[in-house]
Structure 1
Amino acid sequence: MKLITCERCGGNEFDYVGKTAICRYCGSKYALEKDDVARQASTRIALDDDVARLLAKCEAEPARARKYANLVLDIDPSNTQALKYL
């Protein structure tokens, strides 16, 4: 799958509707190739689950809590829960 970059605004975040990619910034629409449609589901990453797991590890392993909290802050710099463990 090739990386899509919006020709109008340079954005690289898209919403996928059927066989169309819609730029989240300017609304430009792009037709996806057959290969792109099949792989679009695997390109989305659920970072909320990762943050929740890391915060749970902070509680379960206090000796390593600082390490896990720093990883959370790498993902979400404004996470107030992770700041408790620093």
Structure 2
Amino acid sequence: MIPHRLKSARAKAKLTQEKLGVLAGIDESTARSRVSQYESGTYSPNFDTMCHFARVLNVPECYFYIIDDAFAEQILALYEVFRAAQK
């Protein structure tokens, strides 16, 4: 997982660390600290947790794992087109 991608997607969604954690199913008492640790790279969440974050943040799961930043942004743009076409 690329930590800065989680922080970037959360900021774009205008969510606090606590709110993101709670919406992703993390207990409210630890949500802020866990998301903070994920964003700083101190700990890495498991894939299931990342899938929950992706759903809440409306980004594809792979966005958090692609190493090349430019490619990750292209995937994000493609995902937005895909989601718009599904509506």
Query: TM-score normalised to the size of structure 1?
Result: 0.26
Indicate the structure (1 or 2) with the bigger Cα radius of gyration: 1
Structure showing greater relative contact order (alpha-carbon pairs closer than 8 Å, 6 or more residues apart) = 2
Give the TM-score, by structure 2 length: 0.26
Point out the structure with the larger strand share: 1
Higher helix share: 2
